[in-house]
Structure 1
Amino acid sequence: MTSGHFYRHYGFNLRSDLALPHLLPGDPAAPVEIDVRLGAIAADQLGDALHFRNWRAEPGEILFHAFGICRLLVTDGATMIVERDGGATDAALVSIILGTGVSALLMQRRILPMHACSIASDQGAILVIGRSGAGKSTLLGGLMGAGCTMLADDVTGVTVDTGGATAIPAFPAMRLWTDSLALLGEDQDDKLQVREDIEKYYVGIDRFRADPMPVRAIVLLQGHNGPAITVRPVAMANRVEALARYVHRKNFLRGLGLQRWGFDAVVRLAQSVDMIAVGRPVMGATPAGVAATVIEHFGLDPALQPTA
């Protein structure tokens, strides 16, 4: 039997030398589809590839350097080699593996890593996108507090074909900043810190759907200075630009030779689902209030949402 830790992540059987907190358990007897290994990476790896400040890539392979933490070599959507920098902790490595590393793997497997949290509904998945600090995870916490079922906290995998778009779940935990914890009435005392150098914590959740489901709609969450929560449709002409902006690590597409595929996938996603913009007042809006607006708009009944 192969040694290591075994998980089910974005629908794939994953083996890892490092423990990856909160991921769904996997089957050690099942074929390994993604292998995460600790090891050395040659100094001249991808030396002739397309170079950027902290990464270089060519079709099928990408090397990323998180300075002071690790280097990652991701190959063919199947292998991730992790070379630790100096005294970087396991927690720091895990944050890069589950973020940048997994997004690169998904791209190589032709799965869009959308920088979006997502919930399940009886008519399909609802994704929430928005700039950093817009309140996506806080809104997700409000939706969970109202009884909704989570698919993903930070990155939702999305496939698009002639039949429409499908959301692929991540793992049953949220990663919340201390201010979001406070808004949701939580504290960090009993929670695992995502990384020692940032005030962000894992929050395990009970209502999680592990199976993919069709995408029903996308919410673009925006802050504004008005007094009330607003809801408006996003015109088709604006959808592609908005969605392309929130592909996680979108610049990798160029280095991997996947720009055309990525653009086509975003266009098909924009055409296949409903999309609205929700304006959240910068002052005074509560997670429960914004969540109630989303629930009312889509006619959700959290008690009836599927968990499997």
Structure 2
Amino acid sequence: MGSESIVHDRSTRASWAQYTAFGLRITSELKLPELVLSASEAAEDVIIRQADLTAWSDQLEQTNYVIQGERFMLQIPGTAIFAVREGREIEVCPYPGADMDTVRLFLLGSCMGVLLMQRRILPIHGSSVVIGGKAYAFVGESGAGKSTLAAAFRQAGYPMASDDVIAVKAAASGPIVYPAYPQQKLRMSSLLQLESLQGNKHVRPQKHRLVLTSGHPALPQYGELLKLIGEWNKYAVPTVDEFYNEPIPLGGVFELVAEPSSQLPAVTEQPLNVLGCLHTLLLHTYRRGTIARMGLGEWHFETAARMARKVEGWRLLRVSSVFTVSELVERVLDIIHKEENSYGSHECSQGSLPRHVQ
């Protein structure tokens, strides 16, 4: 189905829910409780519908995903077949008996990442929080601690803009982050460690304190947290009270690297020059393995290069055997405050901080 079918079906979508996420107005036949409901009556940017995609089953069994021009077909065995087209439409074909929480996990993750790239919006794999009127991205390999660090900032009163997928658009004034939706995915170990931070000087008093009930994490206002079947020992943590839902400039990127060596200090910082920042953005692009097959290699490099010239970057090395999130919070705040003090609040607000020595 192309754009003609989208127009033709408009009258049948009166009862579908309207949401906002990643700076997009989304009309969806599927209920998406993770997203923020939209009160806007403007035309949607994206349509999510159910469709019969089983004709693609045999071909997808060989590769799991197929790309034909602006159409991206993805199969998650036992869960669903998805079709993402032209940055405008996602079709979903759940398998019989599929867990719908898992269907939405891939819909809002892999499928949305592809859709953002089709719209020429860079999806960065990481978490972002708002500090001093700017968004700061935490990126790193799996297990580096990016979501845990973002959650610690959230506990300290800094709103979260995104978790897992950070949607960034290259604007003339500098990169702009479009917030995702108010939910984090956290491991049980992170939840337990974050609970131990209560009373830390950076942690504000919680209106709804994280508690542990029968060995499982729970928030009193939400009841038992949902365990995400498609993620290894991760839970969905609602962040409605600490979510920033407006476009905001990207102020900087922190790459977290977990080191096994105990010879290093608990946390070591390294400023990144433009090339280092470019490498970090390219490396930590969400689902970057699909970029070349989508024919977006040149766009990907040019977009990341434009962003690298506009934002600051740092690498934070931490000892993996030590829980260093409190020290990381202090170090990040110290770095940002030093940048603001060095270059002035006016320059900071314009996103034009001088770069580190090239």
Q: Normalization by structure 1: what TM-score? A: 0.90
Which of 240, 255, 263 is the aligned partner of 2:278?
Answer: 240
For 1:268 and 1:7, locate their aligned partners in 2 and report how far apart those are by CA, in whole Å: 30
Counterpart of 1:19 in structure 2 is 31
Q: Does residue 1:257 correspond to 2:295, yes or no? A: yes
Counterpart of 1:306 in structure 2 is none
Counterpart of 1:65 in structure 2 is 75
Give the deviation of 1:222 after TM superposition.
Answer: 0.7
Bigger drift between 22-31 and 69-78 goes to 22-31
Runs (4+) of structure 1 exceeding 4 A deviation are 44-47
Larger Cα-atom Rg = 2
C-alpha distance 90-157 of structure 1, shift in aligned 2 (>3 A) = same
Bigger drift between 106-115 and 162-171 goes to 162-171
For 2:160 and 2:146, locate their aligned partners in 1 and report how far apart those are by CA, in whole Å: 13
SS of the aligned residue for 1:254 comes to coil
Counterpart of 1:193 in structure 2 is 227
The alignment-based identity, stated in percent, is 27
Q: Deviations over 1:249-270 (max 9, x none)?
A: 1122222221111111111111
SS of the aligned residue for 1:268 comes to helix
Which of 201, 207, 222 is the aligned partner of 2:257?
Answer: 222
Where structure 2 has 5 or more consecutive residues not aligned to the other structure, the ranges are 1-12, 196-209, 219-223, 341-358
User: Letter of the aligned partner of 2:113 in structure 1?
Assistant: S
Q: Deviations over 1:230-264 (max 9, x none)?
A: 11111333332221111101122222221111111
User: Letter of the aligned partner of 1:95 in structure 2?
Assistant: L
User: Letter of the aligned partner of 2:44 in structure 1?
Assistant: V
Give the deviation of 1:89 after TM superposition.
Answer: 0.9
Determine which structure has greater relative contact order: mean sequence separation of CA pairs < 8 Å that are 6+ residues apart, divided by chain length: 1
Which one has the bigger helix percentage? 2
Contact residue 111 and residue 159 of structure 1 kept, 8 A:
yes
Counterpart of 1:53 in structure 2 is 63
Aligned residues: 299
Counterpart of 1:270 in structure 2 is 308
Give the deviation of 1:172 after TM superposition.
Answer: 1.4
C-alpha distance 91-275 of structure 1, shift in aligned 2 (>3 A) = same
For 2:231 and 2:278, locate their aligned partners in 1 and report how far apart those are by CA, in whole Å: 35
Q: Deviations over 1:114-161 (max 9, x none)?
A: 002111122521111100110000111111122211111111101113
For 1:133 and 1:78, locate their aligned partners in 2 and report how far apart those are by CA, in whole Å: 33
Give the deviation of 1:20 after TM superposition.
Answer: 1.6
For 2:40 and 2:99, locate their aligned partners in 1 and report how far apart those are by CA, in whole Å: 26
Give the deviation of 1:214 after TM superposition.
Answer: 1.1
User: Letter of the aligned partner of 1:2 in structure 2?
Assistant: A
For 1:60 and 1:22, locate their aligned partners in 2 and report how far apart those are by CA, in whole Å: 27
Counterpart of 1:305 in structure 2 is none
For 1:129 and 1:80, locate their aligned partners in 2 and report how far apart those are by CA, in whole Å: 27
Counterpart of 2:140 in structure 1 is 130
Where structure 1 has 5 or more consecutive residues not aligned to the other structure, the ranges are 302-308
Contact residue 145 and residue 288 of structure 1 kept, 8 A:
no
Q: Normalization by structure 2: what TM-score? A: 0.78
For 1:176 and 1:263, locate their aligned partners in 2 and report how far apart those are by CA, in whole Å: 31
Give the deviation of 1:44 after TM superposition.
Answer: 4.6
Give the deviation of 1:228 after TM superposition.
Answer: 1.9
SS of the aligned residue for 1:32 comes to coil
SS of the aligned residue for 2:256 comes to strand
SS of the aligned residue for 1:183 comes to helix
For 2:337 and 2:83, locate their aligned partners in 1 and report how far apart those are by CA, in whole Å: 44
For 2:148 and 2:136, locate their aligned partners in 1 and report how far apart those are by CA, in whole Å: 15
